[in-house]
């Protein structure tokens, strides 16, 4: 999967692919996600940056970050760093080109997966967002479906809601 695919996910919102995607990925609320993980062996795939994952995550969750800190030092990457810094963002990120490779190393294609990020986004239309609110977990879910994963769920409300509901969490040192 090349970086253009990840970038072009935003195009998804303006095409009929959104309807097809919505039929393949279901949203699940946090308490239901916990039940599915405990009773039905669902895997929680946390796509947040590694540092956020280490601070707190659902027990047993697997972390594969969909975005990573900008790593290279080419002229283009230095320019991107400066652009981020101009807006007060000193830890600019880029698509993780190894996202699918890492997922495939850790999770079988027939696994039941709940994809989670901080905010969760939504596929539900609103007046201001007729195609829903995009998020890292929805982008990751889309990539999983494109790469042959068929049991993909999306954590509605994200891990923010998980922690707010005081569901089990663990941290790593």
Spatial contact of 140 and 47, defined as CB atoms under 8 Å apart = yes
- Going by C-alpha positions, the residue among 93, 94, 100, 92 that lies closest to residue 140 is 100
| Catalytic-residue membership of 118 | no
Q: Which residues pair with 154 in a beta bridge?
A: 27, 115
Q: 66, 111, 117, 155: which is the annotated catalytic residue? A: 117
- Going by C-alpha positions, the residue among 62, 65, 55 that lies closest to residue 41 is 62
* Residues known to be catalytic: 117
């Amino acid at each position: 999967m090349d970086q253009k695919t990840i970038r072009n996910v935003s195009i998804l919102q303006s095409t009929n692919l959104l309807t097809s995607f919505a039929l393949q990925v279901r949203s699940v609320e946090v308490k239901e996600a916990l039940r599915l993980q405990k009773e039905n062996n669902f895997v929680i795939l946390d796509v947040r940056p590694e540092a956020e994952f280490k601070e707190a995550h659902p027990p047993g969750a697997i972390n594969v970050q969909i975005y990573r800190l900008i790593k290279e030092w080419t002229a283009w990457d230095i320019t991107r760093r400066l652009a981020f810094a101009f807006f007060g963002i000193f830890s600019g990120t880029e698509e993780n080109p190894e996202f699918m490779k890492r997922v495939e190393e850790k999770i079988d294609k027939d696994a039941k997966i709940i994809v989670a990020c901080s905010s969760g986004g939504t596929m539900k239309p609103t007046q201001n967002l007729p195609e829903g609110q995009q998020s890292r977990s929805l982008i990751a879910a889309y990539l999983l479906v494109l790469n042959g994963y068929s049991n993909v769920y999306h954590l509605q409300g994200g891990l923010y809601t998980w922690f707010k509901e005081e569901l089990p969490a663990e941290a790593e040192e």
